[in-house]
Structure 1
Amino acid sequence: MNLPSKRVGWIVDAQNDFMRPPEQGGRLYVHNLFDGGQDPGAVQITPALVRATEWMRTHCDALVYTGDWHDVSDAEIDLVAPDAAKGTYPPHCMGLSADAHEREGAEIIAEIRPANPLILHRDASDTDATGVARRAVSERRPVFLHKSRFSVFEGNPAADTFVRALREQLGGTIEIYVIGVARDVCVKGAVEGMLAQERGIPVTVVTDATWGLGLEGENESYARWLRAGAALVTTHGLYARTSSAFRDLAVAPAKT
């Protein structure tokens, strides 16, 4: 007898430095870098992030936040000539900084910040990961997974062990619901990492709760993810999935 899949909410990098415009302190605000400043940016999706997170807290069996947690020596940090097209950026989400203001940029935005999360540090061991997964399920607590690189599977050596242990603790197969930023960098790393053959985890992307940097068109990203087996849904579709009259409303939003 096949057990039903367990839902895992996966919130990618919804951190102050990414989600707050510069005038509000964001050091690497997620917006289209190539449109001459016309894109209002990721602040637009805050209401959708709130709606999706509320759904996850009610309907998911586990909730995972990921976040860049940088030191100035990290490969993607370039103090002199950062170039997004080459995968380097100015300092952001400096969770390992000695400066309290810089560290605040790495925190999850207040609107969806988890209370009392378990932390899986960016240099965690497999033993750490197994213990965090066990506690997350038994204590019903969210996890904040720190990473040093775009992809969670490259930026935290214990990420794979954590995902496997979470699946084991939940007692069956899992399906991942993904929201966050940036769609064409860290969300891409999470989605494509989950879908990769070696993991083969079903993924649903909540399209109106993501935003990108313009490195790749959203329709191009969505088409590739669909070909790889992902599903797309809006926040409205999420709530429809758990209503008494379920209807599949999996549609992509208008281009941004």
Structure 2
Amino acid sequence: MNKVLVDVDVQRDFCEPSGALYVPGSPNDVFRALVARAVEARIPILGSVDSHAWDAWEFDSSEAHGPAGERPGFPDHCVKGTPGWLKVEGTLPRRFRFLPNVPDAPILPVVDEVLRGQTEGVYFEKEVYSMFANPLAERFLRALVDRMEAPPTFFVFGVATDYCVRAAALGLAERGHRTALVTDAIAGITPEGTARALEEMQSAGVRLTRAAEVLS
């Protein structure tokens, strides 16, 4: 086992045209193919899901401010339990767990489930761009890698390239993990932002690849 897939925010509000923050060109069929291959080949899937309450400070409809006084004014999106929060059809394996955005929770039993192939996907709830904003993520990845026979390559895909995908890939690379970006399984908000993000990720040591490397 030398591969781990990292599914970044493949949720209806981001990936479907009816979504509140749709990313044009979201390659949903490639997402489905990657997940299906991972399940077939027993490749672990980790991921992030944007999870907000109805009055999240990111929302234009909210009067709340972020930790540093932020008011980004995004449309309401990925409110937990709503249709837009759900993962795109065909991208959630049959056996999965969601890990809440909390400072402490038992993770080692879930790590062991992943290594035994019992749990096929583990998804970290988050409120901001980085998967590592969930305090369980770093501990989970460290424990997973320590228990694997050889250090894996983390194959990152999802949306949006210039925001949450960038944050996930850089977060992995900065923590010393071998990281590859699946370039035909991502989509960005703007061409300029996407180009900058790709350059930044490559400078940090992230390797660019295609879905065929995972699907072969």
Please say whether Structure 1 and Structure 2 have the same fold, judged by a TM-score greater than 0.5.
yes
Question: Alignment partner for residue 39 of structure 2, among 51, 57, 62?
Answer: 57
Distance 1:220 1:149 in 2: 20
Q: Does 1:133 align with 2:133?
A: no
Is the 8 Å Cα contact of residues 56 and 62 (structure 2) preserved in structure 1?
no
Match of 1:94 in 2: 79
Deviation of 1:234 (Å): 1.5
Is the 8 Å Cα contact of residues 9 and 178 (structure 1) preserved in structure 2?
yes
Distance 1:171 1:119 in 2: 25
Instruction: Return the letter of the residue paired with 2:28.
Output: T
Instruction: Return the letter of the residue paired with 2:142.
Output: R
Q: Does 1:119 align with 2:98?
A: yes
Deviation of 1:215 (Å): 7.3
Is the 8 Å Cα contact of residues 39 and 93 (structure 2) preserved in structure 1?
no
Is the 8 Å Cα contact of residues 13 and 181 (structure 1) preserved in structure 2?
yes
Greater Cα offset, 230-239 or 145-154: 230-239
Per-residue CA deviations over 1:90-130 (Å, capped at 9, x if unaligned) read 211111xxxx5xx22111111222213122112251x4233
Distance 1:187 1:87 in 2: 19
Give 3-state SS (helix, strand or coil) of 2:142's partner. Answer: helix
Instruction: Return the letter of the residue paired with 1:143.
Output: V
Question: Alignment partner for residue 188 of structure 2, among 212, 218, 229?
Answer: 212
Q: Does 1:184 align with 2:169?
A: no
Distance 1:53 1:110 in 2: 11
Give 3-state SS (helix, strand or coil) of 2:108's partner. Answer: helix
Q: Which runs of 5+ in 2 are unaligned?
A: 64-70
Q: Percent identity?
A: 26
CA RMSD of aligned residues (A): 2.4
Give 3-state SS (helix, strand or coil) of 2:156's partner. Answer: strand
Distance 2:60 2:149 in 1: 43
Match of 2:66 in 1: none
Match of 1:231 in 2: 207
Distance 1:20 1:89 in 2: 17
Q: Does 1:46 align with 2:46?
A: no
Match of 1:9 in 2: 5
Distance 2:164 2:187 in 1: 11
Per-residue CA deviations over 1:172-191 (Å, capped at 9, x if unaligned) read 31210011001111101100
Give the direction of change, closer, same or farther, for the CA distance of 1:64–1:158 in structure 2 (3 Å limit): same
Distance 2:107 2:189 in 1: 31
Q: Which runs of 5+ in 1 are unaligned?
A: 32-40, 243-256
Deviation of 1:87 (Å): 4.5
Deviation of 1:56 (Å): 2.6
Question: Alignment partner for residue 121 of structure 2, among 139, 142, 146?
Answer: 142
Aligned residue pairs, count: 209
Give the direction of change, closer, same or farther, for the CA distance of 1:60–1:115 in structure 2 (3 Å limit): closer
Q: Under a length normalisation based on structure 1, what TM-score does the superposition of the two structures give?
A: 0.73
Instruction: Return the letter of the residue paired with 2:4.
Output: V
Give 3-state SS (helix, strand or coil) of 2:90's partner. Answer: helix
Distance 2:88 2:142 in 1: 28
Deviation of 1:206 (Å): 0.6
Deviation of 1:47 (Å): 1.8
Per-residue CA deviations over 1:145-180 (Å, capped at 9, x if unaligned) read 2112111112x1111101111112324312100110
Instruction: Return the letter of the residue paired with 1:89.
Output: F
Distance 1:236 1:204 in 2: 13
Distance 2:166 2:72 in 1: 13
Deviation of 1:140 (Å): 4.1
